[in-house]
Amino acid sequence: MTLSAVLCGADNWVDVAEWASDNEDWLKKYLVLENGTPSHDTFGRVFRLLDAEVFEQCFRRWIGGIAGHVKGVIAIDGKTLCGSRDGECQASCRL
């Protein structure tokens, strides 16, 4: 949930929890959410308890495991959508 929320622009636990709540139906296709999505406090507690170095190692291993299996380009930072290559931002990327 957190990774998806951050890739969609969330930059704090309130944003992550709000994104998860807004996308609960989609998340339920992949996760069992008997009690709904976690609160911002829960996200904060979980990530406070994680060892950042171990989390980074696991994340890098996971990304390394999927690298090369996806064909094409997946733009995750919005630069392609916003036309950074030619300097023109599409109307859909303006806030």
- The pLDDT tens digits of the residues spanning 34-89 come to 999 999 999 999 999 999 999 999 999 988 888 777 677 666 665 555 555 555 55
CA-CA distances (angstroms) from residue 26 to 3, 19, 32, 74? 14, 11, 11, 20
23 C-beta neighbours (distance < 10 Å), count = 15
Radius of gyration of the chain (CA): 16
- The answer to whether 94 and 81 have CB atoms below 8 angstroms apart is no
Q: State how many domains the chain has.
A: 1
Residue-range definition of the domain harbouring residue 89: 2-93
pTM of the model: 0.69
